[in-house]
Structure 1
Amino acid sequence: MRIRQVREDELDALREIERAAGAPFRELGMHLVADGEPMSVAELDRFRRAGTAWVVTSEDRPVGYLVAEPVDGELHIAQVSVHPDAARRGLGRELIEHADRHAVAAGGFAGMSLTTYVEVPWNGPYYRRLGFTELPESRWGPGVRAIREAEAAAGLDLWSRAVMTRGLGCSAKV
C-alpha cells in the first residue's frame, strides 16, 4: 500500500470509494448518509489542484482517499473514505497521519479538524482513538461554523455530529 497525490483520472474512482464506504451506514438506519451523493468531480478536483488530496493505493489503484483544506487555521479533513474491501487495515489512519505530516511540513496550521458522527463506531470513537477531541461550539471559528451549517441544511444533523480537533504530530495507534 502506498499513499500519493490523487491524479485527475482517478476522481471518478474516489466517488465510487465514497459510495461503497457509505453503504455500512444503511445497517445503522442512516439511509440518508448511505444513499448520499459523494462529492462531485469538480469538488474533488479543487482539492487535487490545491495539493491536499491523497489516495492510498493497492497495485496503484485507489482503495481509499482523504481530501483536506485550510479552515480556521487548521487543516480540515473534508472527507476520508476507505473502500470496505480494504477496511480494517489501518489505511484511514495512515491517510490521516499523512495529512498530519503535510500540515507540519506546510507550516501555519495549529492542528487538524474534522466533523463526524459522534456515535458511529467507525467515526467518533475511532477519531478519539486517533487523538481527536470534540471542539465545543463556543470555540468554532467562522469556517467550521459554515461547514456545520451546510451539514445541517443537508439533513446530516438527524444524527449527533461533532467538530473534532487534534494538535499536529499527535498520532495515536488504533
Structure 2
Amino acid sequence: MSDFYKSPVTFWTYCSTAMRRLRSDTCGEARGVFLIICTLIITSTYQTALQPPGGVNQSEGNSNAGVVVMKQAFFIALFVSNTIGFCCAIFYMFCLLPLRNLFTSWFRWIGVSMCVSYALAMAVISPHPLLFLTSAFALFMVLPFFLMLEVFKRLRLSHLKAAASHPRLSWFWKD
C-alpha cells in the first residue's frame, strides 16, 4: 500500500479525483440547483444559435439568404462567447450527473447530439460555414481539456500547499 501512495499521481487521476469530490461534496439539493442553472444556460445559448440577434437574411434571390444580418466581427464575438458558455454548461452538467447510471449514458448521447446540432446551426447561419463548423468542433474538444487542466492545477497547488504546511521530518521518519 505504501508503494501506491508513493507513486506519482497522473493528470487523469487528479481529474477523476476532482470529479468525485465535486459529486460527493455537493449535496443533492445543490446539485439539482446547479443542474437547473446549467439547463437554463444550455437553453439560452442554443436558442441564440438558432435565432441570432438581428436575425438572418430572408431574401430568396440573394446569395446571403439564411446568413446572419450582423457584421462578421460581431458574429465572431457572439460565436466564441456563446460556444464557450454552451460547452462549459454541457461539461459541468456531465460533471454533476451520477456515474455508472443507465440514464447518465443516455444523457451523454443526448449531449453529444446537442453539441453536433449546435455546431451545425451556428455553421449554417455563419458567413463561412466550413470555417465556423471546424472551429466549433475545435472548441468542443479544447474547452473541456482546458477545464480539466485548471482542475489539475488547482489540485496540484492544494496538494503542494498541504505538503508544505505539514513538513515531514525526514530525520525522524525512516523511509
Q: So what's the TM-score if we normalise by structure 1?
A: 0.30
Which protein has the bigger helix share? Answer: 2
Of structures 1 and 2, the one scoring higher in RCO (CA 8 A, sep 6+) is 2
Between structure 1 and structure 2, the one with the greater Rg is 2
